Structure 1
């Protein structure tokens, strides 16, 4: 069992995040290669747009956005404009290349520290890394919910605990939002090679050790411990089949180092198109390991 403590990072000019993946000792869990927990925003900025993540590129992955509170407007190279709200999923597959922005355009979405978002990246199998870009929004009604005793679960994607939904994925995985009432005990999903949980709120006891907010616990394949909370907890459970090693630099993911280099040149030369309805500003290609003006900064060990 490996414990990952989230590190502080920043998106845009005012959105603080906890960064969980990638981690030096654990780059991926199943196909999940990146995970950020943004918010809750306790003190909204004077100008809401200060939180915006400007148009930036991706290749070789799917971005998965899920909100606990607030709202975010997504725009991408395909011309899609989609407001995502709590309980929905925005699933954007970058494939051969796409650019998108995430704008916080509704001041009411920040009221009372409401804005809180989880973003993950799911690496693509080699045969799908150059797929045509696509985007889908899945409503609450399309994501099944299971309740029993003190346990509430929403299946975000994949399959687990006998639940399935219509979210299109490219490899075997599971991704769950779970809320546990105090005193609840439950187990990990079966049938997946790699499994982890992230604690967004509350605490969880595993083998008589208590873990808290901002910690991810990655389990060994043969581990099947009972998970219990005495305080109540909000969790993200995720994992699936491993895809093999991936190179990651800035917003680019690939099984081939040379493809990352190509993506750098493509973005610099304008060959990855900006969103047609959000093309006045963008994030320039970072020339070193420093944090760019928007979009996720380069993770540890770029191209390692």
Structure 2
């Protein structure tokens, strides 16, 4: 890394084969737990599942975080213990705030299964800030057409959360957050400003550079604080921009639980084992506590 290199750190993904599709996970990472409030960053697919099949993520619990689901292709039925039933399609946002505790499931819609469902998108978890980890659980859905867009014919940036390029998303942000989906055509470019404490770029597809430095596909590349840079593509690309305010207090991650307190995570584990979480109406199945979870924070 040279002094003029805009990239501070590159996080390569751990890839998990979930049967029919792969998930590429860059957060949490052995070398870094968070980027702004983002404590979990998964790329789902791209995949095309066989006719009659689909994803079936059985009911499972969360605490002290918000899940943000954003699809490039396909659809997912969300159900939760608040009684929410919501289908998310490409370009829309599902924001589920766990707070003191919530349970949800994610399954392919019946109509999608009948034709062999596509699946492609990003799912992230955002830690709730100090003093707000135990807020009441909530859910909101924001349609694709409600998200603001910046750009021109060769560069289109959708602001998923926060304020960027003079545009502000209607999606609730519990902590300072920036999150955007940037689609570049051949020769397209967008500025990346320095407003957020921590910022990272993730190349979903194609090829792009940041101030001439090539992005690595499916890697989360953290930018140096304070720099203003330009994201460009000569042949076309899709890039996610994620970040926000730095957290003063570390967050711990174990399975589906996030908290500033390890004791709180232990309590959540016991509560799930004992059946003390609320259930999901119409979806009585559940995922038991694993002996060795795939999602853990690193010391």
Question: Normalised by the size of structure 2, how large is the TM-score?
Answer: 0.92
- The equivalent residue for 2:70 is 66
1:215-230 correspondence to structure 2 within 5 Å: 215-230=219-234
SS of aligned partner of 1:195: strand
1:163 is aligned to 2:170: no
Q: How many residues of Structure 1 are paired with residues of Structure 2 in the alignment?
A: 291
Distance 1:166 1:270 in 2: 35
- The equivalent residue for 2:91 is 87
SS of aligned partner of 1:95: coil
Structure 2: gaps spanning 5 or more residues: 1-7
1:64-213 correspondence to structure 2 within 5 Å: 64-106=68-110, 108=112, 114-213=118-217
Q: Which deviates more, 220-229 or 118-127? A: 220-229
- The equivalent residue for 1:7 is 14
- The equivalent residue for 1:30 is 36
The list of structure 1 runs, each at least 4 consecutive aligned residues, that deviate by more than 4 angstroms after superposition, is 109-113
Aligned-pair CA distance for 1:15: 3.3
Distance 1:58 1:2 in 2: 29
Q: Which deviates more, 184-193 or 85-94? A: 184-193
Maintained 8 Å contact 2:33/2:39: yes
Maintained 8 Å contact 1:201/1:212: no
Structure 1: gaps spanning 5 or more residues: 292-296
Aligned-pair CA distance for 1:300: 5.1
Q: Which deviates more, 267-276 or 58-67? A: 267-276
1:245 is aligned to 2:242: no
Summarize deviations over 1:34-85 as a string: whole Å, max 9, x none. Answer: 010001114x235424x21111110000000000011000000101010000
- The equivalent residue for 2:295 is 298
SS of aligned partner of 2:131: helix
Distance 1:23 1:193, change over 3 A: same
Question: Normalised by the size of structure 1, how large is the TM-score?
Answer: 0.90
Q: CA RMSD in A?
A: 1.8
Aligned-pair CA distance for 1:10: 3.9
